[in-house]
């Protein structure tokens, strides 16, 4: 609020007051009152109105200035109704109550959505755990009744399993609370476990594995790393033709360990490579291979980011694709 | 033959798991009296117990604890909850291993074998057509001749000799080897098998390991 806006706001009051005073003075002169008393009345009127207006102006000026300052200092602006001074004038009080009521209604609304979201997430988690039992049963049934039909269905059940797992990590990776444990883990062992899990697919593609010999210890959540490696491996299998090859390597630097996994499949074109971690991005390859959802790599990046790791990808079309994950040895990357 | 007791409330899984384990050479039994599950499990003196954590009437962890109070029988916990907390609880209540649904059947078998290898007195020898595979030291003997085997050669022979009369595909052999951290490819397997055959011939074992072209191997 400044003086000009204040004065403009009061313009009707000024016009009415000025014209009334002028009429009064004219009236007094016409009836032959002496000049001194006319001037006295005029002065009295202007002084009394003027001092009242000045008082009002400065009081409000102080009030609004304080609110302005509080508002500027607030990180979450909607707390203003809790922190602003209670107004001393009627309109102010009226609006103050209005803001409080509106804020309260909005809080209730947000609370409803928060609850609804939590309910939904809980449901998804429960659902995922429930659906795992029929998937496990299907695997066993297929295993007990081998044949070409079983082999075909098994591939599809494997896909379902992977999508279900993606959903679980999507729910976990996007929630605010932490539910992962960063502890020391042996990268070689995790790679071996994921290789065992995908043994059937990899052997089916006559895969040659080149895995580093030594144990390598880094700090991360083991289940998350296993999930990430599984996603990366699924991609490699999908985009490689038989016989395929997978190389794994580690590089120990002063302040970090770089893990990489390289396949010699179809690669990623240079126009696509910058966008592979985007949600829903499938690229030219994805559009050709129908099963891509563009969620796998997005999740990998989200989970890496949450654990404070860096994931990057380099590739040459029709030649190779290499994914690097960098594990800091102390603290986090900034 | 080792006896496995399954505690699982999903009938389909229990049934299929039983078939699967029986095919792989185990005797399987189970019970549906969940309020008396501990007694039932111990009564048949199983060599290993597969325990699902989500059970009707009783809590799986409680069952685990109760069994452990009375017996040292190995327990593998099976659950669909994939969290560190569940893993920790299982280990705290005395389980020997922990596997999450949906499990890879090969991995489940490998875990069962691993635990049984530790806890039961293993079979000393596997004898087929006069050829004996010594399971304790990984060597082969026939008519007094002894033969040293590499780890992979031993595993290949073990798999084939445990499945006599059945064609074992190359993929099956590779999957078996992968489960024990030997990630060999097609060419390496061929090399391994050829070397193994030459070794067998050197002690006069001919036509023992037969190739079924395009299908696999058979003993």
Over the stretch B68-86, which tens digit does the pLDDT of each residue have? 888 889 999 988 776 777 7
Average pLDDT estimate for B88-109: 86
Residue A110 has pLDDT above 90, yes or no: yes
pLDDT confidence of residue A79: 86
Q: Name the β-bridge partners of A248.
A: A261
Give the gap in angstroms from C-alpha A253 to the nearest C-alpha of chain B: 27
Q: Tell me the backbone φ, ψ of residue B207, rounded to 5 degrees.
A: 55, 30
Asked whether the beta carbons of B179 and B107 are under 8 A apart, the reply is: yes
Cross-chain Cβ contact A195/B19 below 8 Å: no
CA distance B197 to B208: 8
Chain A neighbors of B16, CB-CB under 8 A: 137, 140-141, 143-144
Q: How many helices (H) and strands (E) does chain B have?
A: 8, 12
CA distance A131 to B102: 9
- Of A179-193, A279-293, B55-69, B158-172, the least confident: A279-293
Tell me if residue A82 falls in helix, strand or coil: helix
CA distance B219 to B51: 36
Give the gap in angstroms from C-alpha A288 to the nearest C-alpha of chain B: 29
pLDDT in tens, A123-169: 888 898 889 889 999 999 998 888 889 888 988 898 899 889 888 88
Q: Which residues of chain B are at the A interface, by a Cβ-Cβ cutoff of 8 Å?
A: 10, 12-13, 16-17, 19-20, 23, 80-84, 100-107, 110, 171, 174-175, 178-179, 181, 183, 185-186
Average pLDDT estimate for A107-134: 90
Return the residue of A nearest to B9 by Cα.
A133
Q: Name the β-bridge partners of B59.
A: B54
Cross-chain Cβ contact A137/B10 below 8 Å: yes
Average pLDDT estimate for A183-202: 92
Chain A neighbors of B13, CB-CB under 8 A: 133, 136-137, 140
Which of B16, B20, B106, B186 best tests the A interface by mutation, with the highest count of A CBs <10 A? B16
Asked whether the beta carbons of A290 and A282 are under 8 A apart, the reply is: no
- Count of positions (residues) in chain A: 334
Average pLDDT estimate for A43-54: 89
DSSP per-residue letters across A159-208: HHHHHHHHHHHHHHHHSSS-----EEEEHHHHHHHHHHHTHHHHHHTT-E
Tell me if residue A323 falls in helix, strand or coil: strand
Tell me if residue A309 falls in helix, strand or coil: coil
The confidence band for A284, taking pLDDT boundaries of 50, 70 and 90, is low
Residue A129 contacts B, CB cutoff 8 Å:
yes
Residue window 173-202, chain A: list those with CB within 8 Å of chain B: 179, 181, 192, 195-197, 199-200
Asked whether the beta carbons of A125 and A106 are under 8 A apart, the reply is: no
pLDDT in tens, A247-262: 999 999 988 999 999 9
Return the residue of B nearest to A211 by Cα.
B183
The confidence band for A290, taking pLDDT boundaries of 50, 70 and 90, is very low
pLDDT confidence of residue A229: 95
The confidence band for B120, taking pLDDT boundaries of 50, 70 and 90, is low
Asked whether the beta carbons of B109 and B50 are under 8 A apart, the reply is: no
- Count of positions (residues) in chain B: 219
CA distance A311 to A259: 10
Residue B43 has pLDDT above 90, yes or no: no
pLDDT confidence of residue A276: 85
- Look at residues B157, B110, B167, B159 and name the one whose alpha carbon lies nearest to residue B133: B157
The secondary structure of residue A86, as a DSSP letter, is P
pLDDT confidence of residue A334: 46
Q: Where in B72-170 does DSSP place strands (E)?
A: 75-79, 97-100, 125-128, 131-134, 139-142, 145-148, 168-169
Chain B neighbors of A133, CB-CB under 8 A: 10, 13, 80, 101
């Amino acid at each position: 609020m400044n003086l000009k806006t204040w004065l403009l706001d009061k313009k009707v009051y000024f016009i009415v007051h000025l014209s009334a005073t002028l009429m009064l003075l004219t009236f007094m002169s016409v009836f032959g009152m002496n000049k001194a008393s006319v001037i006295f009345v005029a002065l009295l009127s202007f002084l009394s109105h003027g001092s009242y207006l000045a008082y009002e102006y400065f009081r409000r000026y102080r009030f609004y200035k304080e609110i302005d300052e509080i508002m500027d200092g607030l990180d979450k602006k909607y707390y203003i109704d809790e922190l602003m001074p209670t107004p001393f004038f009627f309109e102010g009080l009226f609006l103050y109550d209005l803001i409080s009521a509106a804020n309260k209604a909005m809080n209730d609304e947000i609370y409803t959505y928060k609850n609804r979201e939590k309910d939904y997430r809980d449901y998804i988690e429960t659902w995922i755990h429930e659906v795992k039992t029929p998937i496990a049963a299907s695997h066993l049934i297929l295993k007990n009744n081998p044949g070409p039909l079983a082999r075909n269905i098994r591939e599809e059940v494997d896909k379902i399993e992977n999508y279900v797992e993606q959903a679980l990590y999507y729910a976990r990776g996007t929630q605010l609370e932490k539910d992962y444990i960063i502890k020391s883990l042996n990268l070689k062992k995790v790679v071996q476990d994921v290789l065992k899990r995908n043994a059937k697919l990899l052997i089916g593609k006559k895969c040659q594995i080149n895995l580093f010999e030594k144990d390598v210890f880094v700090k991360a959540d083991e289940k998350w790393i296993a999930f990430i490696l599984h996603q990366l491996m699924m991609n490699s299998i999908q985009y490689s033709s038989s016989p395929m090859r997978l190389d794994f390597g580690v590089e120990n630097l002063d302040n970090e360990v770089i893990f990489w996994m390289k396949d010699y499949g179809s690669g990623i074109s240079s126009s696509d490579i910058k966008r592979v971690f985007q949600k829903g991005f499938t690229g030219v390859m994805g559009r050709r291979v129908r099963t891509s959802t563009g969620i796998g790599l997005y999740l990998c990046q989200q989970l890496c980011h949450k654990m404070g790791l860096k994931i990057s990808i380099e590739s040459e079309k029709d030649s190779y694709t290499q994914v690097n994950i960098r594990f800091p040895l102390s603290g986090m990357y900034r | 033959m080792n006896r496995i007791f399954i505690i699982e409330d999903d009938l389909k899984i229990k049934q299929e798991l039983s078939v699967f384990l029986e095919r792989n050479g185990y005797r399987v039994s189970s019970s549906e009296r969940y309020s008396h599950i501990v007694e039932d499990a111990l009564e048949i003196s199983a060599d290993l117990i597969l325990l699902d954590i989500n059970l009707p009437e009783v809590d799986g962890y409680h069952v685990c604890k109760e069994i452990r109070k009375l017996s040292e029988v190995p327990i593998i916990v099976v659950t669909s909850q994939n969290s560190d907390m569940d893993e920790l609880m299982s280990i705290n209540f005395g389980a020997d291993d922990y596997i999450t649904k949906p499990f890879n059947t090969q991995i489940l078998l490998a875990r069962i074998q691993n635990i049984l290898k530790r806890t039961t007195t293993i079979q000393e020898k596997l004898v087929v057509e006069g050829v004996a595979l010594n399971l304790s030291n990984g060597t082969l003997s026939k008519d007094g001749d002894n033969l040293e085997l590499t780890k992979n050669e031993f595993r290949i022979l073990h798999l084939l000799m445990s499945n006599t009369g059945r064609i074992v595909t190359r993929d099956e052999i590779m999957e078996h080897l992968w489960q024990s951290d030997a990630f060999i490819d097609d060419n390496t397997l061929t090399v391994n098998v050829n070397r193994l055959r030459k070794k067998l011939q050197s002690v006069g074992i001919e036509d023992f390991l037969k190739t079924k072209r395009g299908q696999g191997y058979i003993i």
